Chain A
Amino acid sequence: MSAKHHTITALVQNEAGTINRLVSLFRRRGFSLASFNAGDCEDPGFSRLTFIVDGDDATISQCLKQLDKLIDVVECEDLPKESSVQRELALIRVEPTEDQRQSLYNIVNEFIARTPRSTPTCVVVEQVADVYDIERLIEALRPFNITEIVRTGVVAMKVEG
Chain B
Amino acid sequence: MNRSGAKIVMEALVREGVDTIFGYPGGVVLPLYDEMLNWPQVRHVLVRHEQCAAHMADGYARATGKVGVCLATSGPGATNLVTGIATAIMDGIPMVAITGNVNSWAIGKDAFQETDIQGITIPITKHNYLVTDINELPQVLAEAFYLANSGRKGPVLVDIPKDVFTAMSEAPFPDTIVRRGYKPAGAPARAEIEVAARLISEAQRPVIIAGAGILHAQAMAELLYLAETTKIPVINSLLGLGSFPRDHELSLGMMGMHGEAAGTLAVQEADLVIGLGNRFDDRLTGNTGGFAPKAKILHFDLDPSEIGKTVNPVAWVLGDLKLSLGELNKLIQPSEHPAWMAQIRVWQTQFPLIVPEGRFPTRTVLKGLNDVTHGNAIVATDVGQHQMWTAQFYKMKKPMSWLSSGGLGTMGYGFPAAMGAKFARPDEEVWAVVGDGGFQMTLQELQTAVEYNCNVKICLINNGFLGMVRQWQELFYDNRHSHVAMGSPDFCKLADAYGVKFFRCSRLEDLEATLKGASDHVGPVLCEFVVEMEENVFPMVGPGATNSALVMDPDLIPSEEAHQLGAFETTHAGAVKS
Contact = CB atoms under 8 A, between A and B. Distances in A.
B138 to A, nearest CB: 16
Contact of B123 (A12, A16, A24, A75): A24
A28 B126 contact: no
B308 A16 contact: no
A79 B118 CA distance: 31
A97 interface: no
A73 B179 CA distance: 10
Contact of B181 (A61, A62, A66, A70): A70
B130 interface: yes
B122 interface: yes
A16 B118 contact: yes
A159 interface: no
Interface string B124-138: 001111101000000
Q: How large is the interface on A (under 10, 10 to 19, 20 to 34, 35 or more residues)?
A: 20 to 34
A20 B180 contact: no
A13 B123 contact: no
Contacts of B130: 16-17
B443 to A, nearest CB: 33
A58 B308 contact: yes
B179 A20 contact: no
Contacts of B309: 62
B252 to A, nearest CB: 30
Contact of A12 (B118, B126, B181): B181
Given A13-B180, A13-B181, A71 B305 contact: no
Contacts, number: 50
Q: How large is the interface on B (under 10, 10 to 19, 20 to 34, 35 or more residues)?
A: 20 to 34
A19 to B, nearest CB: 11
Nearest to B127: A71
Contact of A71 (B147, B303, B307, B308): B147
A88 interface: no
B496 to A, nearest CB: 46
A17 B118 contact: yes
B180 A74 contact: yes
Interface string A6-45: 0000001101110011001000100000000000000000
A74 B182 CA distance: 7
Interface in B137-166: 147, 152
A84 to B, nearest CB: 22
A65 B147 CA distance: 18
Contacts of A16: 118, 129-130, 132
A130 interface: no
B179 A17 contact: no
Contacts of A73: 181
Contact of A24 (B122, B132, B181): B122
B358 interface: no
Contacts of A65: 304-305, 307
A20 B119 CA distance: 8
A75 B179 CA distance: 12
B140 to A, nearest CB: 9
Contacts of A74: 180-181
Given A62-B305, A65-B307, 12 more contacts: A12-B181, A16-B129, A17-B122, A21-B122, A24-B122, A58-B308, A68-B304, A71-B127, A71-B179, A71-B181, A72-B181, A75-B181
20 contacts: A13-B179, A13-B181, A17-B118, A17-B122, A17-B128, A24-B123, A28-B123, A58-B308, A62-B305, A66-B305, A68-B305, A69-B152, A69-B303, A69-B304, A71-B127, A71-B147, A71-B181, A72-B181, A74-B180, A75-B181
Interface of B: 118-119, 122-123, 126-130, 132, 147, 152, 179-182, 303-305, 307-309
8 closest A-B pairs by CB: A65-B305, A71-B127, A74-B181, A74-B180, A16-B130, A65-B304, A28-B123, A21-B122
